[in-house]
């Protein structure tokens, strides 16, 4: 009997769980992804080049302004919409989804997160002016914001102040430092960087969030970029040697980023969204492949082997587990999570990142040798998916570390070091 191609599932599983607006935004991302981004993905992956055409189309579609309020001309989306759109984009081009995530996340800190902070009247007025400026740049001028936080030190995990320093001067700051893994390096218009206000005894509380214009004198992008996966994010090194920026570069009031990050840890969870999409794509591919429906491949079916059926069942279970946790976070994450809510966020993050890699690995083993060809997207999904769980601050290792500790200890609790001689079990 001939195999009839089936439509691919919705990224939320059941679209009925989403609002009409969310469904429309996902549909827009799906259309762009399917028709435009997926066909270009292999070329940009091969060349490790940034898909600037995708960026132009994201801008034209209005999705670059996803997290800008409607009254400012944006799409009025928030955390949930960012997660859903980035996940859908991830099905078609993981690197575009991750790059989109960086930009959209910067606009979320500036907008939704800032709106929920307890600011003084003066800070609120100041922030309103900054929001108007930066949101207008995104909406009217299609400007793109990268979010290079990482420096390769303990600051990325909140254990030390950022090494990049901002010295206050008349009308602005002088920023000096360097950032590693700057996704969108060389194509962004602004780099939303975290730096430490240069004061004696500065701590992570003195973190500043500044949008450094890419064309400011001194800004440069350096170093090679030839990684395993997510190659089209072109996440090279950003160097900021005494770069002057104006007061208007502030994306949050001075000293407020630390509080924002403590109160909105779910923003770290946005990094999982592209990988949710990659996991779905690997599963969809495997089903198509085993049913002999992959375009350009001979219509040979392999679905009749019980071993394949079992493997697909395993993938399906892992995918649904990841999706359930992903959607719970995407749709219900709130500021100020208590200890158990934070555990759920980290458990969801870990599950999506590790499941994406596991599903892709199982997909390759199940589809077999012919599926590993670079002419097919599965080997790219596999390489891209492997990058997820190394992303700070919630790497897979650090999720396990923090989950284990928070499950067993209250925040201030410690143990006396155990001397094995005093341990009754040693007797
Ligand atoms: C494709 C890609 C794109 C990226 N894009 C961006 C971006 O746009 N913006 C951005 O800010 N970053 C970005 N990153 C960087 C990413 O978030 C991490 O910062 C980076 O991968 C960490 O590099 P590393 O493993 O060499 O770090 P290292 O600092 O060497 O850490 C190695 C591992 O050690 C563990 N570790 C680190 N510090 C501690 C600690 N204090 N205690 C216990 N364990 C610790 C962690 O598990 C970590 O994975 C990107 C990374 C990738 C792969």
- Residues within 6 Å of ligand 1 by CB: 102, 147-150, 152, 154, 156-157, 159, 181-183, 230, 233, 235, 387, 390-392, 395, 397-398
Given a cut of 80, whether residue 6 has pLDDT beyond it is no
Q: What is the pTM of this model?
A: 0.96
Helix/strand/coil for 102: helix
Measured by CA distance, the residue closest to atom 33 of ligand 1 is 390
Of 59, 58, 76, nearest in space to 67 by CA: 76
Please report the pLDDT score of residue 427 as a whole number: 52
Q: Which residues pair with 192 in a beta bridge?
A: 211
Rounded to 5°, the CA angle 364-368-372 comes to: 60
pLDDT greater at residue 297 or residue 80: 80
pLDDT bin (cut points 50, 70, 90) of residue 156 is confident
Residue 150 CA, ligand 1 centroid: distance in Å:
7
Q: For residue range 241-262, list pLDDT tens digits in order.
A: 999 999 999 999 998 999 999 9
Q: Which residues pair with 10 in a beta bridge?
A: 13
Q: How far, CA to CA in Å, does 383 sit from each of 42, 46, 92? A: 12, 12, 14
Among 272, 390, 401, which residue has the most ligand 1 atoms within 8 Å of its CB, making it the best to mutate? 390
Q: How far apart are CA 45 and CA 427, in angstroms?
A: 60
Measured by CA distance, the residue closest to atom 12 of ligand 1 is 150
pLDDT greater at residue 5 or residue 81: 81
Please report the pLDDT score of residue 412 as a whole number: 87
Please report the pLDDT score of residue 186 as a whole number: 95
Mean pLDDT, residues 335-352: 97
Q: How far apart are CA 87 and CA 74, in angstroms?
A: 20
Given a cut of 60, whether residue 1 has pLDDT beyond it is no
Measured by CA distance, the residue closest to atom 8 of ligand 1 is 183
Among 212, 395, 401, 405, which residue has the most ligand 1 atoms within 8 Å of its CB, making it the best to mutate? 395
């Amino acid at each position: 009997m001939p195999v009839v191609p089936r439509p691919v599932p919705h990224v939320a599983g059941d679209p009925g769980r989403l609002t009409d607006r969310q469904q429309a935004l996902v549909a827009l991302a799906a259309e762009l992804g399917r028709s435009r981004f997926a066909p270009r993905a292999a070329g940009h992956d091969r060349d490790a080049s940034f898909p600037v055409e995708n960026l132009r189309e994201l801008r034209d579609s209005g999705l670059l302004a996803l997290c800008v309020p409607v009254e400012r001309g944006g799409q009025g989306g928030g955390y949930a919409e960012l997660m859903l759109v980035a996940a859908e984009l991830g099905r078609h081009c993981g690197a575009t989804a991750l790059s989109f995530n960086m930009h959209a996340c910067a606009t979320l800190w500036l907008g939704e997160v800032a709106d929920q902070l307890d600011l003084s009247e003066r800070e609120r007025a100041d922030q309103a002016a900054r929001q108007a400026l930066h949101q207008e740049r995104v909406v009217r001028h299609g400007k793109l914001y990268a979010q290079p936080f990482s420096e390769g030190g303990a600051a990325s995990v909140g254990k030390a102040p950022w090494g990049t320093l901002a010295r206050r001067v008349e009308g602005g700051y002088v920023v000096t430092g360097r950032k590693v893994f700057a996704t969108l390096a060389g194509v962004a218009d602004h780099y939303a960087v975290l730096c430490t206000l240069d004061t004696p005894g500065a701590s992570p509380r003195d973190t500043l969030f500044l949008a450094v214009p890419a064309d400011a004198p001194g800004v440069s992008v350096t170093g090679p970029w030839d990684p395993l996966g997510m190659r089209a994010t072109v996440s090279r090194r950003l160097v900021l040697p005494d770069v002057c920026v104006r007061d208007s570069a502030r994306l949050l009031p001075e000293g407020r980023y630390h509080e924002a990050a403590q109160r909105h840890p779910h923003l770290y969870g946005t990094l999982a969204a592209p990988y949710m999409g990659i996991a779905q794509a690997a599963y969809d591919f495997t089903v198509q492949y085993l049913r002999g429906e992959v375009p350009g491949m001979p219509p040979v079916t392999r679905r009749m082997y019980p071993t394949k059926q079992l493997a697909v069942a395993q993938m399906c279970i892992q995918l649904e587990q990841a999706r359930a946790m992903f959607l719970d976070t995407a749709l219900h994450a709130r500021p100020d999570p208590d200890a158990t809510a934070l555990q759920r966020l980290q458990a969801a993050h870990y599950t999506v990142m590790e499941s994406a890699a596991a599903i892709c690995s199982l997909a390759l083993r199940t589809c077999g040798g012919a599926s590993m060809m670079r002419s097919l997207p599965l080997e790219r999904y596999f390489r891209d998916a492997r990058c997820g769980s190394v992303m700070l601050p919630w790497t897979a290792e650090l999720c396990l570390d923090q989950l284990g500790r928070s499950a067993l200890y209250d925040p201030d609790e410690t143990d006396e070091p155990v001397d094995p001689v005093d341990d009754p079990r040693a007797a």
